[in-house]
Amino acid sequence: MKALHDYAIFHLAMHSISDTVNSKYSFLLFDTKKDTSGDGRLYNYEISLARISSPMVVLSACNSGSGTLYHGEGLMSLARSFILAGASSVVKTSWEVNDEVSAAIIARFYYYLSRGKSKDEAMNLARIEYIRNNPPVYSNPYYWAAYEVVGDNTPVTQNKRFYAVIFGIIVIMAAGFAVFYLIRRRIFSARPL
């Protein structure tokens, strides 16, 4: 709970249990032994009461996007609780996920995020790469389609090359304008009146 207040990306790869009757009792299972709160579980209601400053929370846990559907409120899930607590975006799963597939997709997701891609684009590229690099039996959407990005879609890192190119174009245009101005000024000043 103390770490949730840091401005960092949180990646939680663990078991989660969804309570379909009352989603406030859905939880992330940290440890089967006792933790500081006494049960090794982080309940949905505890998450929504926390204050989170994270730009992104990755819930690499089964059914983290599942929950109780309330009329006028929507789907109350672990992912939604992180959004309500202040996380800018959440990567959630819609059903049970395979550990090996999950590790492969999320690793490539982080790779594309580090390249300055938006969160949706990074997830899409990671999925495409997974499908291309695995046998056809693993191309079933059950394996790769469970992950979804909810919330803010902006890149986590800035693409510095893009800004360098824009700056270079502006400098070249300014230099071209200065040269054009000086040549034109010289031509008009050299003409006799």
Domain ranges of the chain: 3-151, 159-193
pTM of the predicted model as reported, rounded to 2 decimal places: 0.70
Average pLDDT, the chain: 78
User: Could you tell me the pLDDT band of residue 5, with boundaries at 50, 70 and 90?
Assistant: low
Tokens of 105: 């997709």
What kind of architecture, by CATH, is found in domain 3-151?
Answer: 3-Layer(aba) Sandwich (3.40)
pLDDT in tens, 68-112: 777 777 777 777 878 888 788 888 888 888 888 888 888 999 899
E strands, 57-104, are 57-60, 67-70, 74-77, 89-93
139 CB neighbour count, 10 Å cutoff? 13
Specify the pLDDT at position 162.
61
